[in-house]
Chain A
Amino acid sequence: MLDIKDLVGGYGNVQILNGASLKVMPGQIVALLGGNGTGKSTLLKATSGLIRPWGGSITFDGGRIEGLRPDAIVRRGLVQVTQGKEAFPAMTVEENLRLGAYTVGSRAKTAQALERVYTYFPILKEKRTQLSGTLSGGQLQMVCIGRGLMSSPKMIMLDEPSAALAPQVVMDIFRTIYRITQDGMTVLMVEQNVRMALLLAEYGYVIKDGIIHIEGPAADLIHDDNVRLSYLGGTVANREASL
């Protein structure tokens, strides 16, 4: 579904991505892991069109999308949900969600998408007339994911959906992401919460210095000594104990 090859890019004259390649198959949940400043978010932004890649190719659903404007990429069915729970505080919950259906252009389909988002996040239906500026962090994250789903995309890219949320809320969000993929959505997820991400994902990539460093099925990565040492806070010695 998504095939990124040798992606090079950055901001201004600072190069961050040094030829990253990754693949996401239809219906898969793929986790993109890595420490701070390794290029995870940059990779997502280059893919969604927020920054223009300097080199490499991005193929989505059979067509090349590198260098397209973000709204054109949304129209092709690839949506990014950014980090930091960015909603429009002066708009109501429902207005925020409706904005996500901007490319849909049909009232009936928008209403349908809205109902589906409300089944994933029932709390948003209760709060639909409230300004999103008054929501809690978890609810705000739900608004952002919901807005991403409103255009009924083929694939969604989530940038740290669990960042700065309470553990219970993180569980809720991950459970819903799982439900969404069960309904046929393809997901590429950047996460700091490596253990949770690898439990949910089928396949994982570890990015380091703007290049894919380790990749493999999530079940293998969770046992991989390098991944464990770097991101799971365990040591090789206490491997058995921690699992």
Chain B
Amino acid sequence: MEFFIDLLIIGVSIGMIYALVALGISLIFSGLDIVHFAHGEIYMIGAFVGLTIFQHLNIGYVPTLILAVIITGFIGVLIERLFYRRLTSAGGGYTVAGMGMVIAGFGMSIVLQNLAYLIWGPKALPFPVPYGMPLEIGNLSLPMSYVWIVIAALVFMGVLHLVMRKTMIGLAMRAVAHNKDIAYLSGVNVPLMISTIFGIACALGAAAGVLVGPINYVQVLMGIGILVKAFAAAVVGGFGSLPGAVLGGLLVGVVESLGAGYISGTYKDIYAFVLLIFVLMVKPTGILGVEAKVKA
């Protein structure tokens, strides 16, 4: 039973990481109509930015996390403005330009990997955060790094939820995601809102990167694996649905962790996809997914 709870805790915290990245992928899909294949690299850049801040500014872990999230968010806005804008303004996901966008995403991921390689080098770097003693609850001892991941991820998700539901910006972002023409005619500055959506998505990716740093190493190729898992999470939950991304992330994390614990750790990376195939067989739109967005 304790073994099960241990696995569950690890699964939930890794699931939170997947959920944060999946949230970004879903946000970008709903707002820009594109699948962003360089999102794993945004996560990696975010982790490196966080590590650099942590090593050089000495401002503690929480300020590091917040600063890295903000900086990577702006890097995302820059990437969208400079490179993706031309492709998405030509029509996005449902057009020939959308295909170009997929290729541009792969290209961007290679560019960012090499950029990171030039700046931070090929070595896997440790992200040593002094967390202190594990949290003891009864017989359980929870490593603080996992507790932190869950708390911080919940805070980010909570803030995102409040912004989306309670503010005019959130209302405008939801409008842009559903119908850009009507958003425009309501007076929303649609290009600015698209940059904002992209920036927030990148910020969430960076949060995941900085949170995972202390339990993993920070390295150039860390984005590849997470992209595939987060993508699976987003599809399991329902592509484009934000609550779905969170649910999908948690499911993938827990299934992976339980699979690794009870079946075999060798096949750790397979369980997410077994889950994906199973969910798609039962409900092709994903668990919380609705029918595909219909374009006017």
- Partner of B185 from the list A74, A88, A91 (CB cut-off 8 Å) is A74
Let me know if B184 and A102 touch, CB within 8 A. no
* Proximity string of chain A (72-104) to chain B, C-beta cutoff 8 Å, 1 when within and 0 when not: 001100011110101111110001001110110
Let me know if A88 and B182 touch, CB within 8 A. yes
**Which residues of B lie under 8 Å from residue A82 when comparing CB positions?**
181-182, 185
Instruction: Check A21 for interface membership: any CB of B closer than 8 A.
Output: no
**Which residues of A lie under 8 Å from residue B187 when comparing CB positions?**
70-71, 74-75, 79, 100, 102-103, 151
Interface size on A, residues (CB 8 A): 29
B8 CB, min distance to chain A CBs, angstroms? 33
B179 CB, min distance to chain A CBs, angstroms? 6
Let me know if B171 and A98 touch, CB within 8 A. yes
**Which residues of B lie under 8 Å from residue A91 when comparing CB positions?**
171, 174-175
* Proximity string of chain A (44-69) to chain B, C-beta cutoff 8 Å, 1 when within and 0 when not: 00001110000000000000000001
A71 CB, min distance to chain B CBs, angstroms? 5
Instruction: Check A154 for interface membership: any CB of B closer than 8 A.
Output: no
Let me know if A70 and B185 touch, CB within 8 A. yes
Instruction: Check A147 for interface membership: any CB of B closer than 8 A.
Output: yes
Given A99-B175, A102-B168, A102-B172 in contact, is the A86-B190 Cβ separation under 8 Å?
A: no
* Proximity string of chain B (172-206) to chain A, C-beta cutoff 8 Å, 1 when within and 0 when not: 10110011011111111110000000000000000
In the complex, which of the residues A79, A88, A151 has the most CB atoms of chain B within 10 Å of its own CB atom? Answer: A88
In the complex, A150→B186 CA distance in Å? Answer: 9
Let me know if A80 and B168 touch, CB within 8 A. no
In the complex, A69→B183 CA distance in Å? Answer: 12
- Partner of B296 from the list A69, A84, A150 (CB cut-off 8 Å) is A84
**Which residues of A lie under 8 Å from residue B182 when comparing CB positions?**
82, 86-88
A95 CB, min distance to chain B CBs, angstroms? 6
Let me know if B172 and A86 touch, CB within 8 A. no
In the complex, A81→B175 CA distance in Å? Answer: 15
Residue of B nearest to A81 (CB): B185
Let me know if A71 and B184 touch, CB within 8 A. yes
Let me know if A90 and B174 touch, CB within 8 A. yes
**Which residues of A lie under 8 Å from residue B175 when comparing CB positions?**
88, 91, 99
A220 CB, min distance to chain B CBs, angstroms? 32
Let me know if A74 and B186 touch, CB within 8 A. yes
**Which residues of B lie under 8 Å from residue A95 when comparing CB positions?**
171
- Partner of A79 from the list B172, B185, B189 (CB cut-off 8 Å) is B185
- Partner of A88 from the list B168, B178, B184 (CB cut-off 8 Å) is B178
Residue of B nearest to A88 (CB): B178
In the complex, which of the residues A90, A102, A148 has the most CB atoms of chain B within 10 Å of its own CB atom? Answer: A102
**Which residues of A lie under 8 Å from residue B178 when comparing CB positions?**
88-90
A105 CB, min distance to chain B CBs, angstroms? 8
**Which residues of B lie under 8 Å from residue A86 when comparing CB positions?**
179, 181-182, 296
In the complex, A147→B187 CA distance in Å? Answer: 11
In the complex, A69→B187 CA distance in Å? Answer: 9
In the complex, A219→B168 CA distance in Å? Answer: 44
Let me know if A80 and B185 touch, CB within 8 A. yes
In the complex, A216→B296 CA distance in Å? Answer: 34
**Which residues of B lie under 8 Å from residue A48 when comparing CB positions?**
185
A181 CB, min distance to chain B CBs, angstroms? 20
Given A86-B296, A91-B174 in contact, is the A69-B168 Cβ separation under 8 Å?
A: no
Which 6 pairs, one residue from A and one from B, show the smallest C-beta to C-beta distance?
A103-B187, A74-B187, A70-B184, A102-B187, A99-B186, A71-B187
Known: A86-B181, A99-B186, A102-B186. 18 other contacts (CB 8 A): A49-B184, A50-B184, A69-B189, A70-B181, A70-B184, A70-B187, A71-B184, A71-B188, A79-B187, A86-B179, A88-B178, A91-B175, A98-B171, A99-B171, A99-B183, A102-B171, A150-B186, A151-B186
Selected A-B contacts with CB under 8 Å, 7 pairs? A70-B181, A79-B185, A91-B171, A91-B174, A100-B187, A102-B188, A103-B187
